[in-house]
Amino acid sequence: MSLSHHAAAPSGSALARHDWTRAEVRALFELPFPDLMYQAATVHRQNFDPSEVQISTLLSIKTGGCPEDCAYCPQAARYDTGVKAEKLMALDTVLAEAAAAKAGGASRFCMGAAWRSPKDRDIESVCAMVEGVKALGLETCATLGMLNREQAARLKESGLDYYNHNLDTSPEFYGEIITTRTYEDRLDTLDHVRNAGINVCCGGIVGMGENLADRVGMIATLASLPQHPESVPINMLVQVEGTPLAAKVAPMDPLDFVRTIAVARICMPASMVRLSAGREDMSEETQALCFLAGANSIFYGPKLLTTPNPGRDSDMKLLVKLGLRAME
């Protein structure tokens, strides 16, 4: 395993536990808030410089028209969300966006496609993008849906550093959110990515109407993977009109979101925990608590895939205000 990446080395080592029981994870969620924050901040400091935040920028390289039924997603063709289906973006457009992301201060560029799974010719196009983005001096990440073994190997060959594929929620709640692919399918893709030697980025979404047991189940499943994901995105549901969930669930209590970040940090001590979607609707105070709870990565730039994210200026001001700096 390469030791060059800050988080990659310790996540597979004896320091990180892979046998978290649900009872233990639940007990963390149920700690008094100050105790939970203290433990999470302590674990964060044992593994990272708490004043550093890794900065990733997202680009939707293939938007909308997706055949899947993920109840949260504005890009599913079956929901009327106003997102138009587009073709795969041209290589030079992607490279221009990547150069702008680098100039803006990002160290990682993440390319997302609204596919159930890529076709082999799509993989070739994405590999060319990966090569080009890497040549700009950025780390590369892609999220393209389910992969088979050969596709993962081909992406690795092109130099892909990370693959994002989320478990999204607990195995029990999963069927309420997605019916067009199984939890097992997701675990298989994660296996292919891991076996190809690509770093794994895997997390989930909270605020989808799940209960505490589901948040526990999601974190326990992530923390029981044979090797912890190097990157763990924790998304707060972005409610998009037209998606089934937007009509159904009440917004989540921000302090419960902070708790989820803290528990992820404690259970996966050496992973980068990303405060992901949902920041546009979050106060500065909530975000500050997330950093205190051990979040050490964000998406930076005014757009996630299809929904808004805070602007670069306001984010830079927030980082400066909190005395945080971008990780190299």
Token representation of residue 116 = 């159930």
> CB 211: neighbour CB atoms within 10 A?
11
Q: Does 158 bind ligand SAM (CB under 6 A)?
A: no
Q: Identify the helix (H) or strand (E) that includes residue 60.
A: strand 52-62
Cβ(294)–Cβ(44) below 8 Å? yes
Binding mask 3-32 for ligand SAM (x = CB under 6 A): ------------------------------
Name the residue among 248, 261, 262, 168 with its Cα closest to residue 209. Answer: 248
Among this protein's residues, is 127 annotated catalytic? no
Among this protein's residues, is 73 annotated catalytic? yes
Name the residue among 168, 82, 91 with its Cα closest to residue 130. Answer: 91
The footprint of ligand DTB on this chain (CB under 6 A) covers a number of residues equal to: 16
Considering the candidates 154, 186, 265, 274, report the single residue annotated as catalytic.
Answer: 274
Token representation of residue 237 = 């549901």
Q: Does 304 bind ligand DTB (CB under 6 A)?
A: yes
Span interacting with ligand SAM, options 77-85, 112-120, 261-269, 316-324, rule CB under 6 A: 112-120
Q: Left (φ > 0), alpha (ψ -120 to 50) or beta: where does 122 sit?
A: alpha
Name the residue among 22, 28, 65 with its Cα closest to residue 220. Answer: 22
Name the residue among 142, 144, 148, 141 with its Cα closest to residue 191. Answer: 148
* Helices then strands, each counted (H, E), the chain: 13, 10
Shortest spacing between CB 19 and ligand DTB, in angstroms: 25
DSSP category for residue 67: -
Span interacting with ligand SF4, options 69-77, 125-133, 184-192, 242-250, rule CB under 6 A: 69-77
Q: Does 205 bind ligand SAM (CB under 6 A)?
A: yes
Q: Does 178 bind ligand SAM (CB under 6 A)?
A: no
Span interacting with ligand SAM, options 35-43, 230-238, 290-298, 308-316, rule CB under 6 A: 230-238
Distance of CA 282 to the CA centre of its chain: 17
Cβ(227)–Cβ(271) below 8 Å? no
Q: Which does 306 bind (CB under 5 to 8 A by kind): ligand DTB, ligand SF4, ligand SAM, none?
A: ligand DTB
Q: Which does 76 bind (CB under 5 to 8 A by kind): ligand SAM, ligand SF4, ligand DTB, none?
A: ligand SF4
Q: Does 224 bind ligand DTB (CB under 6 A)?
A: no
Token representation of residue 123 = 């993989």
Q: Does 72 bind ligand SAM (CB under 6 A)?
A: yes
Cβ(176)–Cβ(214) below 8 Å? no
Shortest spacing between CB 162 and ligand SF4, in angstroms: 17
Considering the candidates 127, 141, 202, 290, report the single residue annotated as catalytic.
Answer: 141
* Catalytic residue ranges: 66, 70, 73, 110, 141, 201, 274
Which residues lie near ligand SF4 (CB under 6 A)? Answer: 66, 68, 70, 73, 75-76, 114, 116, 145
Q: Which residues are at the interface with ligand SAM (CB under 6 A)?
A: 72-73, 75, 112, 114-115, 143, 145, 165-166, 168, 205, 235, 237-238, 240, 277, 305
